[in-house]
Structure 1
Amino acid sequence: MSRLILILVCLMCASVALAAGTPGEKGADSRPAGGLKDVYFGEALYHAYQGEWFEAVARLDTELGQHRRVDEPALDALYPHLNQAEFDVGDFELGYRMHLRAGRAIRAVIEGKVDEPQRNAASYRLARLYFQKDQPREALQAVERIHGKVPERIRDDVEFLRAQVLMANGRFEDASRVLKDLQGAKSLEGFAGYNLGIALMQQGKEQDGRQYLDRAGQLASAAPSSQAIRDKSNLVLGYKLLDENNGTGAKLVLDRVRLTGPFSNRALLGSGWADANQGQFERALVPWSILAQREVTDPAVQEALLAMPFAYGKLKVYGKAALLYGQALESFGKEIDKLGASITSVQDGKFLKALAREELKQDSDWVVKLRSLPDAPETYYLLDLMASHDFQESLKNYLDLNELSAKLVAWEGDLNAFEEMIKQRRNYYQPLLPEIDEAFKQLDSQIRLRQEQCDRIEKRLHAMLTAPRPDHLATAQERIALEEISRLEHAAGGALPDDVKERLARLRGAISWNIATQYHQRLTDTYEDLDHLNRETDRLKRQYDSFMRTRQAATQSYEGYDEAIASERTRIASAREKVTALLPRQGKILEAMAVDEMTKRRARLEQFQVTARFAIADSYDRANKAQAQKRVGE
């Protein structure tokens, strides 16, 4: 029942979902031509649009496998969507990060008999796959396959990917030409300008590159993605100016970055150093003071805790500087203790248990909420760890393995339920079959009798069309009467009186006359009777076919499943064995990456501690000297 409800939901949602494009692909068009005709394909799309890639791949793989086994594929509901389904399965596998299988599926589409737009769209996906796997040469080969007509909805994305691939291969001049043509693309607003600025600077065209970065840093769009690229453009340009000791320009650019964006901490830190480079330490304290109030786990905040007393020292407020150095030293000590506890917690396996909490995964911001877990101190630094691509991939792999392990357990339980269902069906149908088979034998004999009658009558009627035989159309009473006349004549042996002979001859003549004169009418009536008999025979055949289908459906509902279930049980057991072996290994990799990152952070904080201790001593010395000079002056 739940599957039926899901299919009905799929049918209601398909028209809305399909209008949005291919899952996981910005702007691609996966709308089936002529509307959705296969509900199971729609079910796979439904799961894909929820981001449930595993369910989408499993269902579409199953549907494609069943389609390939049917005797007449053209009659299958999936046939009109076959090219799209084979195309989408690669996308779903790509969404689930099954890069190897996704690449094979997409290449199969490219090499198959598909139209040019679809082939170009597949080449684009293949290029994007290689680019995500950090294989720029293979990505370039795939991009160079794209020629001719490209689907309108991905045209700008194709060219933007082409530019990114060219940059990854060091061809910055070629990438610049492509990116200049994309400056007017609304969907790539800011992104094309930012990448063009980077490409130009890589060519040594510093001034031109900075102009494009500056332009990208002044976008007026309210879209979150545009605001993010605007902040990043300003951050990159600001730090470049800062490296060149251009504090005024760096300050102007860095102050454009939003105070609530993901780049705000680094921007506030850079803004303060821009003021400090110009000797304006009072102004530098403003952004640093804001930054110092933020989450102390962020490296920019930790640096600001040292920068603030440094500024006060430059302003000769040595007492305040010493006090702030002391607070920074205390804060660093607490963070070092947290990191130590986090490392121990990770090594004890608590980190992996925190990641596997199902209640957190119900929310899209579950990673952020991990920071507030009181029994998982290692999660304080999780967001920074998640910034690493390698860590993200390892984390996703671990979560997928964890989820797959749960699915395998559930599937094994499903097999037990299937076996119980089959047992119940067998216990219900088997006692009924003997009685049904007996009724079937009677029905079969009736069909054979009626079929033989039809064949015999039809042959005689066909022969009578060329050689009329009125005697064949005599009624039963006429046949009995003629046989009785013949019997009386034979019994008398010619000793009948003349009047009796005359009466018998007259009677035979009357019967023969009726048969001869009514021949055409009787022939017509016989054809009508044959038609009725044929209809009756057809009714019996339909009843026979219905019985065969019902009996076959009944027996097939419990026969022939044992081998399939045993095979699936073996496959599940094998998969569980692999997952059981891989899950702790992947967890160890994740833990090792977390411990390594936290160890580096702890070492950095320990260095900050050393700096803070020396700075405290220096600040106290300067404060004492200043007080001594003040007393001497008095």
Structure 2
Amino acid sequence: MTTVIADDDEKTETVINELAWGEALYDHFRGEPLQAITRLTARLEQGSIQVHKDQADLLLAGIYLDYGMPNLAAEKLASINIESLSPRLSSKMYLANARIFYQQQDYSAAELALTKVQTEQLSGRDVNLASFISAQIFFSTGRYAEAAEVLTNVSDASNLQLYANYNHGLSLLRLTDEQSQTKAIGLLKQVAQQAVYDQEQYALADQAKLALAMHALDQSDFTTVTNQLSDIRLDGLVSKDALLLLGWNYAKQEDFDTALVYWQALADDTDVLSPVVQEAWLAVPYAWQKQGNRAKALQGYQFALEIQADTQQKLADLKNKLLWQEFIATSSANDLQDYPAFYRELTADPVFHELLTQWQELEQLKTHLELQSRRIPVLELSVKENESRYLAKTEFIKTQLANISLTDFQTQVDDFKAQLEQQKQQEVPLAILPKELASIWQRVSRSESNLNALQDANHGNLEDLQNKSDKLYILKGVAKWQIHRQRPSYEWQAIKAQRDLQKAHADLVTQHELLNQQIVAMRPVLQMDDQLLQQMVAKNNQMLAEINILQEQISESMAAIYEQIISRRVVALDNLAEQANLAIARLTYELATEEYRRD
């Protein structure tokens, strides 16, 4: 959880004064920390975040801590001037420093940083986190009473509360006074009897039951041991431990027949790298020996030696294969699936797990950077293509502007104005009449001309021609009356059209001038973008190279831990062989002595 900036359990009004900072927060809160790291790093280097620079460094440190990279987080916190922070942010910074020192196993520095945290400035979740870190420091330094006292103040609805109660119970159980023991049993029972909803809670409940059973066995409370262990899941993480402890529970009651049932089941288990299974190899012949069957016990110890030698060879094979390398790629080694106990020990090792997490997060970051690297050439081509299209479009606009003749348009405006003045002087302003009315007038005028021509030529019936002429005269008069009645409206519409034409001409002149100015002031070719792209490529390659170096260092550290775990298992198997040999020697001597006495 990144607790250096955001509070999960309270709403805090925040003023964001820079867009780049707001974008980074958006990436962080929508669950994309890698994108947030990329954006924050880029914006900080570009200087785009000034007002919120300290908060940005603090957020980066928190994300690095979540990914188990305390060194990078420390570099970010070192650049922050704590005097410039508000009391709330300074407390969060000290809490982040405590997390860094704890992950670096510098417990004294972590404890000192926690003393500077003002808990009244933190949210409830941050206060719980500070208490939990303090308790872990006390656990790591063997101060169990102080750890128990700190954990009494932890209150959280999540699994953190369960861990606190479990660890609190274990720390009290290590104390010898009756009050601490009673309180420890109460806390462990609370964890063991909780309503579980996920695998993490199941595992905690089983471990609490195992702890209660071990304590009850020390007190010879055999019924409690049986009740607690029988309630542990058969497929749980501590199921084998429960079987072994059940065997010792009955062995302590001298019921070796029942003990053998559990121990034999363990001894036959195929997980030969499990310390519990290995202990069962010796427990089975021990039970036979207690039953008085020395010959069978001798065979059992000899079998233990044989399987111990085979297991030593398996460990040598695992060391030669260096299966931790497969963890890097897949978080699981196929060859280790037959040895779940060894697999769990390897993955449960806090340093190995931290290194593995760091390697995987670096791998994700590397994949992200490689994806961005593949996008950069495409982006470069897009920039060049856009620049080419921009230049071509600019030339096209220049050509079109050159082809526009404002003089011709002005001439047309002047001609329209002159024609309008001429039409005003005409008896019938034919050019400004509506199309239908102008057509009627033209037809009447043509008909009049045709009749006059016929009359002048004495062609046809003159009386008939005169009647038609009279009718046409009346029709012409009606048309002229209609025209003159609407003439002011027609002239007004023509004048308005002239004004609109003049305005359109003025607008065209303005737009023409503006476009010419913009073309003249055209931006230069995007040389700066090319430089920026090259900087991006160089920075990307540099980060990839640094990631490869970090991954190589992490791989070496993981190899060392892997070999240490195998070495511890080899030593344990050597001790097992030593105990088996001693038992064989003792039984051989006893059998020889017994036979000698019989002879």
TM-score band, normalised by shorter chain? 0.5 to 0.7
Segment drifting more, 174-183 vs 136-145: 174-183
Give the 3 Å change call, closer, same or farther, for CA 341–106 of structure 1 in structure 2: same
2:332 equivalent among 338, 351, 367: 367
Give the 3 Å change call, closer, same or farther, for CA 247–338 of structure 1 in structure 2: farther
Q: Where does 1:563-574 land on structure 2 (aligned, <5 Å)?
A: 563-574=531-542
1:62 maps to 2:38: no
> 1:292, 1:581 → 2: CA distance?
45
2:235 equivalent among 230, 243, 260: 260
1:586 equivalent among 551, 554, 560: 554
Deviation, 1:253, is 8.0
Residue 101 of structure 2 aligns to which amino acid in structure 1? Y
> 1:94, 1:389 → 2: CA distance?
15
Segment drifting more, 561-570 vs 157-166: 157-166
Q: Which residue of 2 aligns with 1:600?
A: 568
Task: String of CA shifts for 1:455-493, please: whole Å, max 9, x gaps.
Answer: xxxxxxxxxxxxxxxxxxxxx99xxxxxxxxxxxxxxxx
Indicate conservation of the 8 Å contact 2:301/2:580, yes or no: yes
Give the 3 Å change call, closer, same or farther, for CA 299–166 of structure 1 in structure 2: closer
Q: Which residue of 1 aligns with 2:272?
A: 296
Deviation, 1:308, is 1.2
1:151 maps to 2:123: yes
Q: Which residue of 1 aligns with 2:313?
A: 337
Task: Report the secondary structure of 1:129's partner residue.
Answer: helix
> 1:186, 1:308 → 2: CA distance?
42
Give the 3 Å change call, closer, same or farther, for CA 213–609 of structure 1 in structure 2: same
Question: Unpaired segments of 5 or more residues in structure 2?
Answer: 407-416, 419-498
> 2:58, 2:25 → 1: CA distance?
12
Residue 608 of structure 1 aligns to which amino acid in structure 2? L
> 1:269, 1:150 → 2: CA distance?
46
1:193 maps to 2:173: no
Indicate conservation of the 8 Å contact 1:166/1:175, yes or no: yes
> 1:114, 1:394 → 2: CA distance?
34
Indicate conservation of the 8 Å contact 1:254/1:268, yes or no: no
Q: Where does 1:173-572 land on structure 2 (aligned, <5 Å)?
A: 175-182=147-154, 188-200=160-172, 204-219=175-190, 220-221=193-194, 222-223=196-197, 224-236=199-211, 238-239=213-214, 246=220, 248=222, 251=225, 255=229, 257-294=232-269, 295-346=271-322, 351=323, 353-357=325-329, 360=330, 366-367=331-332, 371-372=336-337, 381-436=342-397, 536=507, 540=511, 558-572=526-540
Deviation, 1:583, is 3.9
Please report the TM-score for the alignment, with normalisation by the length of structure 1.
0.63
Deviation, 1:40, is 5.8
Q: Which residue of 1 aligns with 2:433?
A: none
Q: Which residue of 2 aligns with 1:96?
A: 67
Give the 3 Å change call, closer, same or farther, for CA 239–549 of structure 1 in structure 2: farther
Task: String of CA shifts for 1:218-264, please: whole Å, max 9, x gaps.
Answer: 2321144444334434444555666x684748835862654433233
> 1:402, 1:188 → 2: CA distance?
29
Give the 3 Å change call, closer, same or farther, for CA 68–35 of structure 1 in structure 2: closer
1:28 equivalent among 8, 12, 34: 8
Deviation, 1:303, is 1.1
> 1:24, 1:410 → 2: CA distance?
29
> 2:59, 2:552 → 1: CA distance?
32
> 2:555, 2:135 → 1: CA distance?
37
Deviation, 1:612, is 3.5
Q: Which residue of 2 aligns with 1:525?
A: none
Task: String of CA shifts for 1:490-532, please: whole Å, max 9, x gaps.
Answer: xxxxxxxxxxxxxxxxxxxxxxxxxxxxxxxxxxxxxx99xx8
Task: Report the secondary structure of 1:261's partner residue.
Answer: coil
Deviation, 1:432, is 3.7
Give the 3 Å change call, closer, same or farther, for CA 87–406 of structure 1 in structure 2: closer
Residue 46 of structure 1 aligns to which amino acid in structure 2? R
Residue 194 of structure 1 aligns to which amino acid in structure 2? Y
Residue 251 of structure 1 aligns to which amino acid in structure 2? V
Task: Report the secondary structure of 1:275's partner residue.
Answer: helix
Indicate conservation of the 8 Å contact 1:90/1:105, yes or no: yes
Q: Which residue of 2 aligns with 1:76?
A: none
> 1:389, 1:160 → 2: CA distance?
16
Task: String of CA shifts for 1:397-433, please: whole Å, max 9, x gaps.
Answer: 4444555555554444333333333333344333443
Give the 3 Å change call, closer, same or farther, for CA 247–281 of structure 1 in structure 2: farther
Give the 3 Å change call, closer, same or farther, for CA 60–290 of structure 1 in structure 2: farther
Task: Report the secondary structure of 1:430's partner residue.
Answer: helix
Deviation, 1:284, is 2.4
Task: String of CA shifts for 1:511-564, please: whole Å, max 9, x gaps.
Answer: xxxxxxxxxxxxxxxxx99xx89x959984996599689965xx67x5312222
Structure 1 or 2, whichever has the larger Rg, is: 2
Indicate conservation of the 8 Å contact 1:179/1:196, yes or no: yes
Identity of aligned residues (%): 21
> 1:301, 1:161 → 2: CA distance?
34
Deviation, 1:298, is 1.0
Indicate conservation of the 8 Å contact 1:124/1:146, yes or no: no
> 1:574, 1:316 → 2: CA distance?
72
1:42 maps to 2:7: no
Number of residue pairs aligned between Structure 1 and Structure 2: 499
> 1:549, 1:122 → 2: CA distance?
54
Residue 42 of structure 1 aligns to which amino acid in structure 2? Y
Deviation, 1:307, is 0.9
Task: Report the secondary structure of 1:68's partner residue.
Answer: coil
Task: Report the secondary structure of 1:561's partner residue.
Answer: helix
Residue 163 of structure 2 aligns to which amino acid in structure 1? F
Indicate conservation of the 8 Å contact 1:41/1:60, yes or no: no
> 2:542, 2:201 → 1: CA distance?
47
Indicate conservation of the 8 Å contact 2:37/2:60, yes or no: yes
Task: Report the secondary structure of 1:305's partner residue.
Answer: helix
Question: Unpaired segments of 5 or more residues in structure 1?
Answer: 1-20, 74-78, 361-365, 447-475, 478-527
> 1:93, 1:382 → 2: CA distance?
27
> 1:24, 1:282 → 2: CA distance?
58
